[in-house]
Amino acid sequence: MLGRPRHALDLGPAEGREAVFLARRGVATTGVDLSAAQVDRASRWWKDTPGLRFVHAEAVDYLTSSTAPFDAVYSVWGAVWFTDPELLFPLVARNLAPGGIFAFSQAEPSPGAYGPQPMHGKWLEGRESGLTVLRWQYTPQMWADLLKRHGFTDVDARILPAPGGEGLGTLLVRAHGPA
Ligand SMILES: C[S@@+](CC[C@H](N)C(=O)[O-])C[C@H]1O[C@@H](n2cnc3c(N)ncnc32)[C@H](O)[C@@H]1O
C-alpha cells in the first residue's frame, strides 16, 4: 500500500499499532493524534522503538505548519475519516514528497449517507450535550473524483467486503501525490 517510504506520517494513530509496525521496518514514522490520552499511551508503549514519535495535534493544524515532506501519509480508520477533505487534501498534497503515496481506510458508507455525517456512537453517551462528531463518507468513485480534483493521480478506491459478507465493508483508498 505505501511502497517503500523512508518517512511516513500516520494521521490518527491512536495506540500506534501501524506506526510501530512501520518503524520496526526502518521507516521513520510520525503519528499525529488529537487525543492527548492516546498520544501519551502510544508514546509510553513504544518508547523504545527507534524512529517513532507521536505528536499531540489536530491533523489539519499539524499539516499546516509541517515542513518535512513525507514519502507516505496514511490513516487507518483515523483522522481522514473525521476531517473535511476539502481542507485536508491540499495539505496532504503539500506535505508529500514527489512520488509520495496517500492511503486511507474507513468504514464503507451506508447507502445514500454521503458528505459529513453526524456520529452516533455509544462512546459519545454521557459527554456534554451538543457535542457532535462528523465523519466524511463517500462512495469510492466520489473519493476518487475528490482526490483527482486536488491533483492526486493513480487513484485506486475500493470497498473490501466484510469477512463473511455481513455488515459494512472497509473503504480503502490509495493515490499518488500531485506531480
Ligand atoms: C478509530 S481511531 C483509529 C486508530 C488507529 N488508526 C487504529 O487503526 O487503531 C481514530 C483516531 O483518530 C484520531 N483523530 C480523529 N480526528 C482527528 C484529527 N482531526 N486529527 C488528529 N487525530 C484525529 C482520534 O483521536 C483517534 O485516536
Q: What is the pLDDT of residues 54-68, one digit of tens each?
A: 999 999 999 999 988
Q: In angstroms, how far apart are the furthest CA atoms of the chain? A: 47
139 or 166, greater pLDDT = 139
pLDDT value, residue 169: 95
Give the nearest ligand 1 atom to 61 CA.
20
Residue 128 has pLDDT above 60, yes or no: no
Task: Give me the CATH number covering residue 93.
Answer: 3.40.50.150
CB 42 within 8 A of CB 15: yes
pLDDT value, residue 122: 53
From CA 60, how far away is CA 171, in angstroms rounded? Answer: 22
Domain count along the chain = 1
Whether residue 157 is contained in a domain is answered as: yes
The continuous run of DSSP H or E covering 30 comes out as: strand 28-33
Whether residue 2 is contained in a domain is answered as: no
Q: Tell me the whole-structure pTM to 2 decimals.
A: 0.94
Q: By residue range, what is the domain housing residue 170?
A: 7-176
Whether residue 110 is contained in a domain is answered as: yes
pLDDT value, residue 120: 66
**To the nearest whole percent, how much of the chain has pLDDT over 70?**
93
Whether residue 75 is contained in a domain is answered as: yes
Angle at 73 between CA 111 and CA 163, to 5 degrees: 40
| Residue at grid coordinates 521507516 | 27
Among residues 76, 46, 72, 75, which one has the least CA distance to residue 177?
Answer: 72
pLDDT value, residue 131: 67
- The CA 161 to ligand 1 mean position distance, Å, reads 22
Mean pLDDT of the chain: 93
pLDDT value, residue 127: 53
112 or 73, greater pLDDT = 73
Whether residue 166 is contained in a domain is answered as: yes
Q: Which three cell numbers stand for residue 70?
A: 513525507
Whether residue 16 is contained in a domain is answered as: yes
Q: What is the pLDDT of residues 129-153, one digit of tens each?
A: 556 789 999 999 999 999 999 999 9
List residues bridging with 118 in a β-sheet.
134
Whether residue 170 is contained in a domain is answered as: yes
Average pLDDT for residues 108-135, to the nearest whole number? 75
Whether residue 100 is contained in a domain is answered as: yes
Site to substitute for ligand 1 among 1, 35, 56, most atoms within 8 A of C-beta: 35
Q: What is the dihedral sign for C-alpha 146, 147, 149, 155?
A: negative
Residues with CB under 6 A from ligand 1: 12-15, 17, 32-35, 38, 58-59, 76-79, 82-83
